[in-house]
Amino acid sequence: MIDASSWRAPAELGRLERRFWIIGGAGIVLSLLGALLDQAQAVQSYLVAWLLWTGVAFGSFAVMTLHHLSRGGWGLMVRRVLESAAKTLPLLAILFIPVLLGLPHIYRWADPEAVAASAKLQEKTHYLNVPFFTARFVAYFVVLGGLTWLICSRSLRQDRTGEPRLARRMQNFAGPGLGIYVVISTLAAVDWIMSLDPLWYSTLFGIYFVGGHGVAAFAFVIPVALWLSRREPMSRALTQRHFHDYGKLLFAFVMLWAYFAVSQLLIIWSGNLAEEITWYVERIQGGWKIVGIVIAVLHFFLPFLLLLSRDLKRNAGRLAIVATLLLVMRWVDLYWQVGPAFHHDGFALHWLDLTTVVGLGGLWLATVFNLLGRHALIPVNDPNLEEALPGE
C-alpha cells in the first residue's frame, strides 16, 4: 500500500482557495447590489452563470464515470479533481434558490398573467408549473448527488483499505450512473433552457447540452492539472503523455459538441417549421449573429485546428490556454442560448452578466479546492495506479 500522506495537496492550494473565496465574495456582493437596482436582470444573469458552473460539475461527474468504466490511466491522475467537482452538486443545488425565487422574471410559464393570456401556455401547464419544476430539480440533484456519494465514498475507502473489490464496485455504479446522467441532463436542458421559450422544441437539444458538459469538464480539469503538475507531489505523476490524453479527449468532446450543434441546426433549418425555426432566426440577426460567429470560430474552428497538433497537446501550458478559452466560450454559448429570451431587440451585455459568473465561479472553485485538499491527490491504492505512474 502506498502512503497517502506523501500525496497530500501542496500548501499553495489553500492560498489559492482563499483567493477564490475573496473573488467570489466580491462578485456576489456586486451582484446583490445590482439586484437592488434591477431584480429581473440580476436573476437572468445569475441563471447563465449558474448553468456554466453546474455544467462543469455535471460534466465532471460524467467524465468520472467514463474513467471508472474504461479504467484508463488518464483518469487516475485527475480522478480527485473530477470527484471534487462532482461533490459540489449540493452547493449548486443551494445556489439555485435565487433562480427559484425569481422564476416569474425568467420563465413565462411561471408568470400567472402570461399563462392566463396564452392558450398555448395553458396547454403546457401540466408539465411547466412551479411545483413540478421544483420537484424535478430536487430529484435531479438528489439522484446525481447520491450516485456521486456512492462512487466517491468507495474511492476514498480504497485509499484507506486497498480492497481490490472496490474498483469493481465503482465500475458497477458508473455504468448505470452514466446512463442516468444523460437522462437527467436531457430533462434538465428542457427545464432550464428550452422552457425559456415554451413554444419551441428540439429533439436534439438535450444531447447538445450533454456535449457542452464534456467540453466544460475537460476545459476545467486541464488548467487545474497544469497547476498541480508544477508543484509537488503531482510533478512526480503528471507527464506529457497524460496531457496528451487530456488534449485528445478535449478534442473529441469539441467535435461531439459541434456535431450535435450543426445537426440540430440542419434539421430545424431544413424542416422550416414556425415552432422550431424562430429560435434560430432570433439568434442569427443583429448582434446575436456576431455572437454566433464568435462561437463558431472560437468554440470550434480555432480549437479544432489547434488540437490537431500533437505538439500542442503534449505542451501542458499551451493546452491549458486552449482549455481556458473553451471554458470562456462555454459561458458565451450559454449566453447565446439564454440571452435572446430576455433581449428580443438585439444583443445586450449587462455588467451583472460578468459579476454573477465571477461571483459564482469564485465560490464554486474555492469549494472544489477545499474538497481537493482534504485527501490524497491520487487514488493511492487503485490497482491500476502503478501502470499509470511515470517510470512504471
C-alpha cell at position 374: 482534504
Query: Nearest CA to 350 among 22, 47, 24, 95?
Result: 47
pLDDT of residue 392: 45
C-alpha cell at position 284: 442569427
The rounded distance, in Å, linking the Cα atoms of 111 and 293 is 33
pLDDT of residue 45 exceeding 90, the answer is: yes
pLDDT of residue 201: 86
Give the residue with greater pLDDT, 386 vs 4: 386
C-alpha cell at position 255: 467535435
User: CB under 8 Å to 300, separation ≥6 — which residues?
Assistant: 254, 257, 258, 261
The arithmetic mean of pLDDT across residues 192-198, rounded, is: 96
The DSSP secondary structure of 163-187, one letter per residue, reads -THHHHHHHHHHHHHHHHHHHHHHH
pLDDT band at 83 (very low <50, low <70, confident <90, very high): very high
The rounded distance, in Å, linking the Cα atoms of 243 and 245 is 5
The rounded distance, in Å, linking the Cα atoms of 67 and 63 is 6
Query: Nearest CA to 143 among 212, 64, 90, 80?
Result: 90
- Helices and strands, number each (H, E), in the chain: 20, 0
The rounded distance, in Å, linking the Cα atoms of 243 and 27 is 32
The rounded distance, in Å, linking the Cα atoms of 18 and 366 is 7
The arithmetic mean of pLDDT across residues 217-245, rounded, is: 95
**Which spans in the chain are helix H?**
11-37, 39-70, 73-76, 79-86, 89-95, 97-101, 103-106, 112-116, 119-123, 130-161, 165-192, 205-229, 240-271, 274-283, 286-295, 302-307, 310-314, 316-338, 351-372, 385-388
pLDDT in tens, 98-151: 999 999 999 999 999 999 999 999 999 999 999 999 999 999 999 999 999 999
Single-letter code of the amino acid located at 34: G
DSSP state letter for 8: P
